[in-house]
């Protein structure tokens, strides 16, 4: 359902915002064999072995590390459903800070839910996180290759904030692997207004202790502050590109059913961004949450999970 609600009012540059708490169709299971697959014109061979995954299992829950593209990526997996779903976290985010209500509460009979820590984040360290101009493309490659290495032939994407941008790129680059996609708090370009917002929250010492605590628990206070500043510099690179482009040119390539969710009280992502995505992703749906902020899936997990489950479980319409 699409809700009609008024747009978020603009905020002046330099305002410090309340961000809220910072945080198959495949039943395939990994086996001890080499998987080879083609992406575009590049051939990938990835070894899948139980020992390499260094995992432990408790009921349907699995946690471990998997070697992907030269990095040991941490992941958590829950459920035994036929529909595989990958959760893509926001900036500096990880399974611990960003997606516990989804990992624990999405229907485990219908879905196999995988959360991961992108390279340099959370428990996927080393390496040290850096932000070259292609860092979203790199995360998209890692995300898809992780799921393929874990044995999933086709899967859906749930991407929040930076993870939403990563999901958009992954879906555009890999249409043959992506079933459906849900994104929220995501943007395909960076405007001068966006840059003002990012710079307003650059100094984490101005955040409330409650906002800093989850990230400081993962990184420590000093590394968190340093990595966050590096992220602000990394995202600012895009404002110098034509139209502030991150992935505008890729949106027409997205072919999977796509749901865009937006919290109308989001102080980080102006409402122009979800409407832009909706306009440029063919057949997409836009769902507005009038009381939602940037972390709407954490503030309103029951409503969010219900909307997501309904969308993922619905039969796709002809496009």
Q: Give the pairing type, strands 61-68 and 56-58.
A: antiparallel
DSSP 30: -
Task: Please choose, from the candidates 188, 312, 203, 163, the residue with its C-alpha nearest in 3D space to the C-alpha of residue 247.
Answer: 188
Helix (H) or strand (E) holding 261: strand 258-263
196 is catalytic: no
- Residue 176's beta-bridge partner residues? none
Residue linked to tokens 């034509």: 242
Task: Please report which residue ranges of the chain form alpha helices under DSSP H.
Answer: 95-98, 100-105, 135-149, 162-173, 192-200, 209-219, 221-236, 272-280, 296-299, 301-313
Q: Can you give the pLDDT at residue 45?
A: 38
Q: In this structure, what CATH number is given to the domain that contains residue 110?
A: 3.40.50.1820
Assess if residue 81 is contained within a domain: yes
266 is catalytic: yes
Assess if residue 317 is contained within a domain: no
Q: Can you give the pLDDT at residue 317?
A: 61
For residues 130 and 230, the answer to whether their CB atoms sit within 8 Å is yes
Q: Can you give the pLDDT at residue 60?
A: 72
Q: Can you give the pLDDT at residue 200?
A: 97
Phi-psi bin for 204: left (phi > 0), alpha (psi -120 to 50), beta? Answer: alpha
Assess if residue 194 is contained within a domain: yes
Instruction: Identify the domain containing residue 255 by its residue range.
Output: 33-312
- Please return the burial class of 12, using the count of CB atoms within 10 Å of its CB with bins 0-12, 13-18 and 19+: exposed
Assess if residue 7 is contained within a domain: no
The rounded distance, in Å, linking the Cα atoms of 141 and 273 is: 24
Q: Can you give the pLDDT at residue 314?
A: 83
**pLDDT per residue over 20-47, tens digit each?**
433 333 444 333 333 333 333 333 333 3
Assess if residue 16 is contained within a domain: no
Residue linked to tokens 């906002």: 211
For residues 260 and 274, the answer to whether their CB atoms sit within 8 Å is yes
CA angle in degrees (0–180, nearest 5) for 301-306-311? 130
- Choosing from 83, 273, 287, 294, the catalytic residue is 294
Assess if residue 25 is contained within a domain: no
Enter the pTM of the model: 0.82
The rounded distance, in Å, linking the Cα atoms of 29 and 77 is: 12
- Choosing from 161, 194, 262, 284, the catalytic residue is 161
Tokens, residue 203: 């100094």
Per-residue pLDDT of the chain (319 residues; tens, 9 = 90+): 333 333 333 333 333 333 443 333 344 433 333 333 333 333 333 333 332 333 333 447 899 999 999 999 999 999 999 999 999 999 999 999 999 999 999 999 999 999 999 999 999 999 999 999 999 999 999 999 999 999 999 999 999 999 999 999 999 999 999 999 999 999 999 999 999 999 999 999 999 999 999 999 999 999 999 999 999 999 999 999 999 999 999 999 999 999 999 999 999 999 999 999 999 999 999 999 999 999 999 999 999 999 999 999 987 665 5
Assess if residue 28 is contained within a domain: no
294 is catalytic: yes
Tokens, residue 24: 């198959």
Separation in Å, CA 22 to CA 101, 162, 209, 211, 265: 14, 13, 11, 6, 16
The rounded distance, in Å, linking the Cα atoms of 171 and 245 is: 17
- Choosing from 117, 145, 179, 266, the catalytic residue is 266
Assess if residue 176 is contained within a domain: yes
Q: List, in order, residues 6 or more apart from 219 with CB less than 8 Å away.
A: 92, 227
Tokens, residue 183: 């994104």
* Maximum pairwise Cα distance, the chain: 56
Split into its structural domains, the chain has a count of: 1
């Amino acid at each position: 359902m699409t809700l009609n609600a008024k747009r978020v009012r603009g905020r002046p540059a330099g305002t410090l915002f309340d961000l809220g708490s910072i945080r198959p169709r495949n039943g395939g299971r990994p086996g001890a064999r080499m998987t080879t697959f083609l992406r575009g014109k590049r051939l990938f061979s990835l070894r899948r072995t139980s020992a390499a995954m260094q995992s432990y299992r408790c009921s349907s829950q699995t946690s471990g590390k998997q070697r992907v593209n030269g990095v040991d990526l941490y992941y958590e997996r829950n459920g035994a459903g036929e529909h595989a779903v990958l959760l893509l976290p926001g900036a500096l985010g990880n399974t611990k800070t960003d997606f516990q209500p989804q990992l624990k509460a999405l229907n485990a009979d219908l879905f196999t839910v995988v959360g991961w820590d992108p390279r340099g984040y959370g428990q996927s360290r080393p390496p040290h996180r850096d932000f070259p101009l292609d860092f979203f493309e790199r995360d998209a490659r890692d995300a898809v290759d992780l799921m393929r290495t874990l044995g999933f032939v086709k899967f859906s994407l749930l991407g929040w904030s930076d993870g939403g941008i990563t999901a958009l790129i992954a879906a555009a680059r890999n249409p043959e692997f992506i079933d459906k996609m849900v994104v929220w708090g995501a943007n395909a370009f960076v405007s001068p207004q966006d840059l003002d917002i990012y710079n307003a929250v650059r100094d984490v010492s101005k955040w409330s202790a409650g906002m800093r605590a989850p990230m400081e628990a993962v990184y420590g206070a000093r590394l968190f502050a340093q990595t966050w500043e590096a992220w602000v510099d990394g995202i600012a690179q895009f404002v110098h590109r034509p139209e502030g482009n991150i992935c505008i040119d890729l949106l027409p390539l997205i072919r999977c059913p796509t749901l865009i969710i937006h919290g109308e009280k989001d102080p980080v992502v102006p409402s122009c961004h979800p409407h832009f995505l909706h306009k440029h992703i063919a057949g997409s749906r836009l769902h507005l949450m009038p009381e939602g902020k940037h972390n709407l899936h954490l503030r309103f997990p029951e409503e969010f999970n219900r909307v997501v489950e309904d969308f993922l479980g619905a039969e796709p319409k002809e496009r």
